[in-house]
Structures are given as C-alpha cells and as structure tokens.
Amino acid sequence: MATPKDFGFNEDINMLKDSYARFLSEQATIEKLRPSLEGTEDPYHGQPRVPFFDRDNWDQTVALGMHAVAIPEDQGGIGMGLVAATALAEEIGRYALATPLTNTLLASFILREASTDAASALLASMAEGLRVGLALYGEDGDLGPTSTDVQVTGDTLHGQSWYVTDAQKCDVLIVSAAGPSGIDLYQVDVNAASVTVMADTIVDLTRDQAHIQFDGTDATALTTGGQGADCLQAAMPALLTLTAADIAGAAEWQLQTTAEYAKVREQFDRPIGFFQAVKHPIVDMMIATDETRSLVYQAAAAFDFDRDDAARCAHLAKSSASDTAEFCANRSTQLHGGIGFTWEADVQIYHKRQMHSQFLFGDGVWQRQQLAALL
C-alpha cells in the first residue's frame, strides 16, 4: 500500500499536534529546568546533577491523554499510529522537554508487537499514567535485538542493562533478557530492592541515563518463547522515527532562534544576518531541518501504511536526523558567538540535547550501514 501524499496527517492529528504545541508553549519548560542545574556547571568538580522531572507537566499530559496516543483502544488508549506519535515527539524536541512521555511512546510500539496478556495489562496501566523505561541493551552498545547482558533464571533476572534513558523518571522497566528460548521482554519494578540504578554522567541536561543491576529480580514475562527479539525488531522503525522527530523539532528551534538573533545582533553597524558568512549557514540549517522533517514524516507514514518499507524509511530518517543534529547544534552555537557558549544561554541546552539524540538508537554512520544491508 502506498503512503498518502499528506503522510497521514489528517484533521485529528493536526488538531492533536496544535493542542500539544499550545500546551507546551505555556509550560516555560526551560525556565523550570534551570533551577535543577545550579551548582552543576562544572561536570568534573560540580555537584552531582539531580535529574529534572516536572511532575505537574506529566500529570497535565496524562489529563490531556497525550501519553495514550499510541496505546490501543482495547487497553484504554486513543489507538492512533506512528504519525500521531511523531507529531508529539517533534514538539517534545522543539521545547527540549524533560519528560517520560518519550519513553511511553517508545514502549507503546514495542508492547503493541507483543501478543501476551501481560503486555496488554502493562499497556492498560500505561494508559492510566504508569511511567515506563526501556532497559534493552548490553554494555557493548550493540543495537541489535539480541543485545543484552541480562540473563533470566526461572522468573528472576541477573545482570546489567546499559544506556537506560530517563531511568529515574520511570515506575517500571521493560527489560530485554536472554533465557533458554532466546530473547524475551520482562516487566520489572524499578524500585524493587534487588534493582540498583547507577546514574551515568551525560552531557544532556534534559535527560538522565543509567546502567541498572539486577540481582535475582522478580520479573513478569511480557513475551515468551524468544519472541522478544522479534518485537524489538518490528518496533525498531518506530523507535528510530520518534527519535528523529525529536531531533527535527529541536533543529527547528535552533534554526528559528539563530535567525532571530542574526536580525538583532549588530556588527560593523549592520545586523550580522546581512553578511553572507551568516546567511549561508542559516539557509543550510533550514535545508537540513526540512530534509529531516520530510524523511521523518515519510518514515512514520510507511510504518502506518506500508510496513514493508518501514525499516528503510526509518533508517533514512534517523541517518538524516543524526547529521542534522550535529550540524544545527554547531551552527546555532557558532552564530550566537560568545553568548552561545555561556551556561545562561538556552542554545547550549539544545546543543547538548542534540548531541545526545544524535547517538540514540545509532548515529548516521550506523544507520547508513543498516540501510546498505537492506538495499
């Protein structure tokens, strides 16, 4: 089935996107984040950074139903597809939002690929506001569906999961673990006594990351018979597309903010935007952002309407997005001059978020390697 010319952005999805954008515009997301950063300016000698989590924002997000967009109606959700979720992810990136909503959207698409009662029950709990994290990968950073350092014995988990994003914002974890039948997914209470969350130091100021130790942790099987790897493989295009959408939203903010600054910052009695050395990089930022957004929308539409082409489109989107993240981050900081490097500037917050997003689920080089294998 061919993807629609409008990428599936119908009236309902456009209203959803506009509604969420208006909500976030009233939230002062960066202003709320800043107090949590005080005293942590020096990553080597400063105080440990406490992950920022605006619980009021999350409660309002749940009240609006945004968290349930990709949860099937049978489990109490809205039952929309990846196009709708992508619209929300783009706004999350535009406002550099520190939120468990991203993981909720990612987890929704993983669980939708499972066919067990436990997976359905977890989706139903998520529809009521349960926050879910993803503990899927081993220390070597392999992004394949069989990458895990966690072993399952009976109904308990042993080992470590690595690179767990926003681990300190979640209630439960979806853990990938190896057992006699292969890779399966398990639900774990993050606050269990046998679970140790060890925070990682990362450059991103809007997210937290951790590696997690499981010592005989009780777990509920979300898949059986080694079907976990299949679920992860099937959901990977959605994970890539949502991450790329976040990058596209942040890149749009960097583009607009840099263009506005170029209009008011003067040098040699002229706005710096007058000079070609400033004009051309801003135009290049616009081209890169538009390219990424187009590929993101195509990938989301392929996942919803033409699943056979979903993997190819998703790798294209994340490849473009990773390159755009680096390019727009560097140019926005550079064109803001000395101000862009200061701790007080919002530019550095977006720059650091983009650097982290660039490598989430694989950078541009890795995406192109996977794409080449498909062609």
User: Over the stretch 240-264, which tens digit does the pLDDT of each residue have?
Assistant: 999 999 999 999 999 999 999 898 7
Report pLDDT digits (tens) over 325-345. 999 999 999 999 878 878 888
Average pLDDT of the residues of the chain: 94
pLDDT, residue 60, reads: 97
Contact 322, 358 (CB under 8 A): yes
User: What's the one-letter identity of residue 265?
Assistant: R
Angle of helix 101-112 relative to helix 82-94, nearest 10 degrees, comes to: 160
pLDDT of residue 307 exceeding 90: yes
d(CA 51, CA 201): 11
- The secondary element (H helix, E strand) that includes residue 190 is none
Give me the residue label for tokens 């490097």.
341
Q: Which two tokens stand for residue 320?
A: 């473009």
b vs e for 250-279, b when ≥16 Cβ sit within 10 Å of the residue's Cβ? bbbbbbebbbebbeeeeeeeeebbeeeebe
Distances (CA, A) of 65 to 19, 82, 128, 277: 11, 16, 9, 45
d(CA 34, CA 336): 20
Q: What DSSP letter does each residue of 331-362 carry, written as one string?
A: HHHHHTHHHHTSTT-HHHHHHHHHHHHHHTT-
Q: What DSSP letter does each residue of 90-111 carry, written as one string?
A: HHHHHTT---THHHHHHHHHHH
d(CA 157, CA 175): 9
- The torsion defined by the Cα of 244, 233, 120 and 12, in degrees rounded to 10, comes to 30
b vs e for 7-41, b when ≥16 Cβ sit within 10 Å of the residue's Cβ? bbbeeebeebbeebbebbeebebbeebeebeeeee
Q: What percent of the chain has pLDDT over 70?
A: 99
Q: Which two tokens stand for residue 117?
A: 């009662």
Degrees, nearest 5: CA angle 317-323-324? 80
d(CA 81, CA 237): 13
pLDDT, residue 255, reads: 97
pLDDT of residue 1 exceeding 70: no
Contact 303, 365 (CB under 8 A): no
Judged by DSSP in three states, 131 sits in coil
pLDDT of residue 115 exceeding 90: no
d(CA 218, CA 157): 7
Homologous superfamily in CATH for domain 132-227: Butyryl-CoA Dehydrogenase, subunit A, domain 2 (2.40.110.10)
Q: Is it true that 132-227 and 229-374 share their CATH fold?
A: no
Q: Which two tokens stand for residue 219?
A: 């777990």
Pairing of strands 172-179, 132-135: parallel
Please, where are the H alpha helices in 205-309?
Answer: 228-264, 276-305
User: What's the one-letter identity of residue 275?
Assistant: F
Domain boundaries, the chain: 11-127, 132-227, 229-374
pLDDT, residue 265, reads: 81
Domain 11-127 has CATH 1.10.540.10: yes
pLDDT, residue 88, reads: 98
pLDDT, residue 369, reads: 96
Q: What percent of the chain has pLDDT over 90?
A: 83
29-43, 110-124, 304-318: segment of lowest average pLDDT? 29-43
d(CA 99, CA 92): 8
Degrees, nearest 5: CA angle 134-240-20? 80
- The number of residues making up the chain comes to 375
CATH class of the 229-374 domain in this structure: mainly alpha
pLDDT of residue 41 exceeding 80: no
117-126, 174-183, 265-274: segment of lowest average pLDDT? 265-274
The pTM of the full predicted model, rounded to 2 decimals, is 0.96
d(CA 228, CA 184): 4
